[in-house]
A and B are shown apart, each in its own frame.
Chain A
Amino acid sequence: GAGVSQSPSNKVTEKGKDVELRCDPISGHTALYWYRQSLGQGLEFLIYFQGNSAPDKSGLPSDRFSAERTGGSVSTLTIQRTQQEDSAVYLCASSLKPDHEQYFGPGTRLTVT
């Protein structure tokens, strides 16, 4: 079946612009996770959804970052007023339930110029 998909695969934006990154989890997966992979920080957890609720937002680096999930499916990660340090690969993962294996998407490479 289809895996986790993310769009766009690559995004180049100017500093100060807003961007939206999309994640389509595996159908039926209730848990959804966002991570960020950057050269300086490695792979970091950002936010976790169970259904449409986000019980853990502890990893969001600043209030410029927000995320939502609708219909228990698609999730959007929004970064407002992008900064150069936001440049990274943003990874999405989903799992059937929170304590099940996470399946990762291919990521969105964000470059802020």
Chain B
Amino acid sequence: AQSVTQLDSHVSVSEGTPVLLRCNYSSSYSPSLFWYVQHPNKGLQLLLKYTSAATLVKGINGFEAEFKKSETSFHLTKPSAHMSDAAEYFCVVSEYGGSQGNLIFGKGTKLSVKP
């Protein structure tokens, strides 16, 4: 069975400093992995996805994530946080490996950005 574990429920950074949101996955297949962002009172938005092409995936708003099979990790990073990055972030694995199919969500990491 597929699963994801987000290692931090809350991360706080100062504006202009790097962001690291950690995610580990468990998958029987070659997984498809995603990061979604949810701003307050808004819908979920896809940030980026990994589907067995390049291991370093670039997404929107300057975010990127690196797939590391040896560590079963898919951490999300951004070099410099902006106030508008404050939101909840979800690491997600597709239940059916290569296709999006049904998504299995991590518990979420709430990112706070201090001025």
Contact = CB atoms under 8 A, between A and B. Distances in A.
Contact of A45 (B49, B99, B104): B104
A44 B4 CA distance: 12
Interface string A1-39: 001100000000000000000000000000001010000
B46 interface: yes
Contacts of B107: 42
Nearest to B92: A43
Interface in B32-47: 41-46
Given A91-B44, A101-B46, A42 B106 contact: yes
Contacts of A95: 100
B103 interface: yes
Nearest to B98: A99
A98 B46 contact: no
Contacts of B98: 99
Interface string A76-98: 00000000000000010101001
A105 B43 contact: yes
Nearest to A31: B100
Contacts of A48: 101-102
Interface of B: 41-46, 49, 90, 95, 98-108
7 contacts: A42-B106, A45-B95, A98-B101, A101-B49, A102-B46, A106-B41, A106-B43
